[in-house]
Amino acid sequence: MDSMKSQLEAALAGSKPVLIEFFASWCPHCKRMMPIMDELREKMGDRAAIIQIDVDKYPDLEKVYGVKGYPTFFVYKDGTQFWHDSGEKPLSELEDMINRVM
């Protein structure tokens, strides 16, 4: 957990927008989001941090963020949470949420 927690803390302390996705490998909705998350990461490049957290590997982080369903998304900028939602999302919505805080 320490490396993921460190990566998350470093991203949140930075000035770039951060999109966090909490997912479970067994979740069918999460599986459908994987190619969308890959495309989002490619489109954003180094303009935003995209962090995916497997809840089975990092249950402590799931508890800290109060995640109740999968996938769950958060957008942060300068350490402040700007958006939070759960469920499958189209690429355009995730991209829009990141662009709003740039």
The pTM of this model reads 0.94
Task: Report all structural domains of the chain as residue ranges with CATH numbers, in order of start.
Answer: 2-100 (3.40.30.10)
- Region 8-27 average pLDDT: 95
Is 30 among the residues known to form the active site?
yes
| Band of pLDDT at residue 5, cut at 50, 70 and 90 | confident
Is 27 among the residues known to form the active site?
yes
* pLDDT for residue 1: 46
Active-site residue (options: 8, 11, 20, 30): 30
Q: What is the pLDDT of residues 23-81, one digit of tens each?
A: 999 999 999 999 999 999 999 999 999 999 999 999 999 999 999 999 999 999 999 99
pLDDT at 2 over 80: no
Selection from 9, 23, 84, 32 nearest residue 57 by Cα: 23
Contacts of 33 (CB under 8 A, 6+ apart): 21, 23, 71, 88, 89
